[in-house]
Structure 1
């Protein structure tokens, strides 16, 4: 009997302990936070509203800090930075039962860091060139940004064309051809930091940065070295004759497109001419595989960046020389895949409407157009640029085969060729090229 009583008491104690544990498990443990997009990038002047999800408990309080400095006590927080940098933003939700926290990492770029520039030639004889800007995620362009930031300065005169630009070492270098200047600005603020009037004797066409202090100017009569610290231009490089357009650097070689010799390869240190591998019609872009691509008539050509060995394949169209009314090359290369994109020129003096893609190693890939523009659109200026930030092809068009005042920027999926969106801006602007942030 005593043993039976002991068993009953033991079972009762176990039941009480289990009940206590069950009550402990049901005790509130405080709020839980979920953040859907913890890492974001914006530019100075932009803002981002941070709206974390959390379980709602009675008596809940909130706390926000930016780099450990208190900034708010609401359930959401709008972050609008005044300076560039990397910011850690912490959200804490608390009750008497406990607390939870989550972090946001926000990278803040310069005013013009979160998007790309559109360089417009200008209306020859009437209006100078201009710089527009597109911010990622928006459906518009911001017009006349260079003029807005530098109201007392101009990009040459009405008889010059803003034709080429590139970003090198934190600076935007813009070349205004037909007697115009070389203009240098900060790449993220557009504030002008220097210029060379009448660059290369009025024959400036293109620019290539080599390192922190050296660059090259492609001109109507050859190539000139430029000191990037002083913007002093040296004597014309020996052995290069005729107009020189696009140039790319790979290792210690510079590959320059020249109207007389096609591809000219220079030593990037001594500027000595190393070789003239083939009579390029247009060029050049660097593929993901490192090869330098251009075209010779109806052949898509490539050169190995160190051995200079050549390769070629047949295209279903012929390239047309850009010299005369020079514009930047109508080619671009993916940095994600071994894909080269090239625009088919129109007939006669008209602009083209078809873009082809070559997948390295697959000769048949270039047999059919990858993109055909919608009716009443023609490629203009360089026409196409690959954006590694979005894996898109950024295409510039106008509404005429020879001229037009309706300008469009179209965004195509670089993998499928599908059109994602189109932005339109009207006026006689003539988009020369887009310039992407690195």
Structure 2
């Protein structure tokens, strides 16, 4: 049996059987058995991984065939008696397609193995603000290993529907995607299909962020505090007491929910009743979490390490200012590895964007901040919360635009760097006034 690529993690089985009893025999006269040959299965040795909506034509090349009849079965259910079969993927799953050819008094069989992924699996999303004054936000999609970006996949999947204006935040929680815009709709979609599953037409204040708390409750950070939302009905509750001003990042950690307030700094809420447990002090950028449970935030030349159990906060000095972006809020360029206690920090200008350098702070090693981990090319600048760690393949994803103004902003590049050594793995150019807000991983 020949070796098959690990990509599919499956093997095909081909077997040929003589059919007994189909021809009478005698001592002097025995019928000749002509066994049909499957010369080639016609599909990557019988294996493939495709996406919902894709099709594959299965057309084996044959030899030694006489008056054949055919039979096709998908997971044991008969689907065709033609010589070829077109398999169309309508649902996720693993499929075994059995092909049988009867020729004369002999039978040959082959088994195809096809894995079907969701249309928006095996890749990641790019949430986009959209071009203010010209159109709403939307979502692009990058499929791993390809050299292009699928554009505006929300509108293309949901004709006649749009996101709100300036879509600056996305989160995936309990297999649902939550998309937050500063004006207009708060939208929920299926991350596998991008089909809209619910929306709130208008939030009580300009939306900034979202955090899932449990199966029934989420929190929405706005320009005027934090609002709970029922995740089953999408009914918005009353603003939480004790949290004032504009709210940016929110993260659930152990017994607490940490909230970033422009006026108060980091506010710790009890995750049982969402009452204020403690105000930890000023900060501008956050949050992210390393595998040891530490929650990270930043302000000026300080990186804050917060113990999620005790709320004790330690400070690490950073050799450059880590700017927030309260004036035109975005989620910030702070993102943590999921396999090592390391935080990636995008060095931005004073309004929380721009810049070309990303630093990697290895917890406990201040020398790790002496030199940039990654530097994007000259003439480019990072935009929005355009530095994010991808836990699916241990990479750093960076979005940027061409430096300058006007038409430069339609010149986008997506970079993928190795999160262990900083090596560039892929760069993809694409065009459009997207104004990328943040990468988002399923």
TM-score, normalisation: structure 2: 0.80
Helix, strand or coil at the partner of 1:277: strand
Given the alignment of the two structures, is residue 333 of structure 1 paired with residue 336 of structure 2, yes or no?
yes
Given the alignment of the two structures, is residue 144 of structure 1 paired with residue 119 of structure 2, yes or no?
no
Is the deviation greater in 203-212 or in 402-411?
402-411
1:420 paired residue number: 425
1:169 paired residue number: 174
Deviation (angstroms), 1:285: 0.4
Alpha carbons of structure 1 residues 237 and 79: separation in structure 2 relative to 1, 3 Å: same
Cα distance in 1 for partners of 2:426, 2:56 equals 23
Match of 2:244 among 233, 241, 264: 241
Helix, strand or coil at the partner of 2:220: strand
Cα distance in 2 for partners of 1:34, 1:92 equals 23
Deviation (angstroms), 1:265: 1.0
2:5 paired residue number: 36
Deviation (angstroms), 1:79: 6.0
Deviation (angstroms), 1:150: 1.6
Tell me, yes or no, if the aligned pair for 1:350 and 1:401 is still in contact at 8 Å. no
Which digits, 9 at most, give the CA deviation of each residue in 1:33-90, with x for residues without a partner?
Answer: 4322342754313467999xxxxx999x99986434578999x998652211233567
Cα distance in 2 for partners of 1:287, 1:243 equals 26
Please show how residues 59-74 of structure 1 align to structure 2 within 5 Å. Answer: 66-69=74-77
TM-score, normalisation: structure 1: 0.81
Q: How many residues align?
A: 396
Cα distance in 2 for partners of 1:223, 1:321 equals 19
Helix, strand or coil at the partner of 2:280: coil
Cα distance in 1 for partners of 2:54, 2:312 equals 48
Cα distance in 2 for partners of 1:89, 1:250 equals 46
Helix, strand or coil at the partner of 1:146: helix
Given the alignment of the two structures, is residue 346 of structure 1 paired with residue 354 of structure 2, yes or no?
no
Cα distance in 1 for partners of 2:136, 2:94 equals 37
Tell me, yes or no, if the aligned pair for 1:247 and 1:256 is still in contact at 8 Å. yes
Deviation (angstroms), 1:370: 0.3
Deviation (angstroms), 1:110: 2.1
Cα distance in 2 for partners of 1:329, 1:367 equals 21
Deviation (angstroms), 1:227: 0.6
CA RMSD of aligned residues (A): 3.2
Please show how residues 256-335 of structure 1 align to structure 2 within 5 Å. Answer: 256-335=259-338
Cα distance in 2 for partners of 1:49, 1:388 equals 35
Alpha carbons of structure 1 residues 65 and 298: separation in structure 2 relative to 1, 3 Å: farther
Helix, strand or coil at the partner of 1:35: coil
Deviation (angstroms), 1:296: 2.5
Larger CA Rg, structure 1 vs 2: 1
Alpha carbons of structure 1 residues 175 and 33: separation in structure 2 relative to 1, 3 Å: same
Which digits, 9 at most, give the CA deviation of each residue in 1:168-194, with x for residues without a partner?
Answer: 1221111110x3221111222222122
Q: Which residues of structure 1 form unaligned runs of 5+? A: 1-31, 52-56
Deviation (angstroms), 1:425: 1.6
Report which of the two has the higher share of strand: 2
1:386 paired residue number: 389
Given the alignment of the two structures, is residue 430 of structure 1 paired with residue 438 of structure 2, yes or no?
no
Alpha carbons of structure 1 residues 350 and 119: separation in structure 2 relative to 1, 3 Å: closer
Cα distance in 1 for partners of 2:57, 2:278 equals 56
Helix, strand or coil at the partner of 2:281: coil
Match of 2:360 among 350, 357, 362: 357
Deviation (angstroms), 1:119: 1.5
2:253 paired residue number: 250
Cα distance in 2 for partners of 1:401, 1:299 equals 29
Cα distance in 2 for partners of 1:409, 1:35 equals 32
Tell me, yes or no, if the aligned pair for 2:138 and 2:167 is still in contact at 8 Å. yes
Deviation (angstroms), 1:269: 2.0
Is the deviation greater in 343-352 or in 234-243?
343-352
1:15 paired residue number: none
1:82 paired residue number: 90
Helix, strand or coil at the partner of 2:321: coil
